[in-house]
Amino acid sequence: MFDGHGLDLSRKPTPISDGELRDRQHEIARQCGQDSILIIVNNNESIRSADVEYPYRASSDMLYFVGWDSPNAILCICNNSNGTHTTLFVPPRDTERETWTGLRLGVDGALKNFPIDSALSIEDIDVELPKIISNYRTIFHQLGTSSVVDQIIGQILDESSNDATCLDYSEMVSEMRLRKSKSEIDLLRYSCKIASAAHIESMIQSHPGMAEFQLQAIIEGCFIHNGSQWSYPSIVGGGDNGTILHYTENQSKINDGNLVLIDAGCEVRGYASDITRTWPINGKFTEAQRILYQLVLDSQMAAIEACKPGSRFDAPNNAAKEVLARGLLELGIIPGPTLQEANTPEQLGMFFMHRTSHWIGLDVHDVGAYTVNDEPRELEPGMVLTIEPGLYFGAWRPDIDIDEKWAGIGIRIEDDVLITNSGYEVLTADCPKTIEQLEAIIGSSK
């Protein structure tokens, strides 16, 4: 169990090197300019209920520049005439606290184990951060991430005699993160391999009458077994539940004859995968399910073929929509009468209401602008995006009138695609998706 039907998960990728993290620090310092400081605040811990906290996830920007994944930390990347200098504020060692919540690296451990030039105690932030900031005229910071840092910056700006300014760094960092390095791609590949194994396990062990949460347990058990965690709450929708785009209740029984739609991915060292597969719980598509499934698969393949350097970001979406619109028009599900009229929000948009793609990386919906100068941006090598067309015929919907044979069918097929120098690489290619592959593997553990 959890071996992904023979997928090799033993060759784990190496972490991002200190050298690469240093290069990122130097590059963002260069972009910020001379006499500048960039301040990144790590995510806060969040209370789930009473004294129980949600599992902690570090800020992706903190991971990107220094790799620090513990709470209550602040990163400063400074640029002056002496070059780039990086300081990390961290929680100090505390035997009493560590007895309850685990060991801390502390100031000395942070300096020894992370690519930084100095480390200071977060308990001294009120004294030490103003000293650092006051040396710089341009402050890059996301206001609202820390009331303490916001207050310090505000006070320095009020007292400034050198026309100091505070600017948001988001756009610069997003552009850097949009293009993945070889090391990042290796981590994404491995995350995709684990997620593929998890989906395969759910297919192998499926049978009519099981609950959605049981498939969720198989998926997420595979994530944990292979040293990862989910990158977003898993969607497991049987039957009509699969027509709800962000369905996460996962409590219903999956009846014989139902399709099940599973949208689930994991992350490895912060790098995410995002896969959706749809298949019959009993291992055999009905005729109506088969027709619509093949249509969505054809649209996805057309979208993937549109992924190449120099193409616009909207090219995959346009390719998928044209295939879907033509297919629904031929099936008589939408009236047309022309393909142009069929391919509109008023017709196709009734059954395919989301975009085909989003960026993926350190966040499952990763940062990076989709347009440049009000035009869809060109795809470049190193960019990674999802390709996920779908069709949704919710029997619960009062706004549609369709033949009963289509009612309750929800289908989405999603893969993660890397743009290469010559075209594309499907990072999630290990996960079965053709009708023949699915029908051969579903329930095969019996």
Active site residue 414: yes
Active site residue 158: no
> What's the count of helices (H) and strands (E) in the chain, helices before strands?
13, 21
Q: What is d(CA 39, CA 166) in angstroms, rounded to the nearest whole number? A: 10
Helix-strand-coil percent breakdown of the chain, rounded to 5?
Answer: 35, 20, 45
Check 5, 354, 377, 397 and give the catalytic one: 354
Reference 444, options 197, 195, 203; nearest CA is 203
Where is 196: in which H helix or E strand?
Answer: helix 182-204
Check 199, 358, 366, 415 and give the catalytic one: 358
Query: Is 168 exposed, middle or buried, given 0-12, 13-18 or 19+ CB atoms closer than 10 A?
Result: exposed
Check 414, 415, 416, 430 and give the catalytic one: 414
Active site residue 365: yes
Check 201, 240, 388, 430 and give the catalytic one: 388
Q: What is d(CA 237, CA 402) in angstroms, rounded to the nearest whole number? A: 21
Q: What is d(CA 397, CA 411) in angstroms, rounded to the nearest whole number? A: 16
Query: Which string of b and e fits 214-234 if b means at least 16 CB within 10 Å?
Result: bbbbbbbebbebbebebbbeb
Check 11, 48, 51, 158 and give the catalytic one: 51
- Helices in 46-160 by DSSP H: which ranges? 60-65, 95-101, 106-113, 125-133, 147-159
Check 61, 184, 263, 363 and give the catalytic one: 263
Active site residue 23: no
Active site residue 274: yes
Active site residue 26: no
Active site residue 141: no
Check 30, 54, 246, 403 and give the catalytic one: 246
Check 64, 169, 271, 392 and give the catalytic one: 392
Active site residue 305: no
CA atoms within 13 A on the CB side of 80: 13
| Site of tokens 């993290």 | 21
Check 274, 314, 363, 366 and give the catalytic one: 274
Reference 231, options 261, 271, 183, 262; nearest CA is 271
Check 199, 412, 415, 424 and give the catalytic one: 412
| The pair of three-digit structure tokens given for residue 149, joined into one six-digit string | 């840092």
Q: What is d(CA 408, CA 400) in angstroms, rounded to the nearest whole number? A: 12
Q: How far is CA 135 from CA 41, 107, 147, 149, in A?
A: 19, 23, 21, 16
Active site residue 415: no
SS3 (DSSP) at 134: coil
Instruction: Provide the Cα torsion 361, 367, 368, 371; round to 10°.
Output: 120
Active site residue 388: yes
Check 98, 365, 375, 403 and give the catalytic one: 365
Active site residue 54: no
Task: Catalogue the active-site residues.
Answer: 51, 246, 263, 274, 354, 358, 365, 388, 392, 412, 414
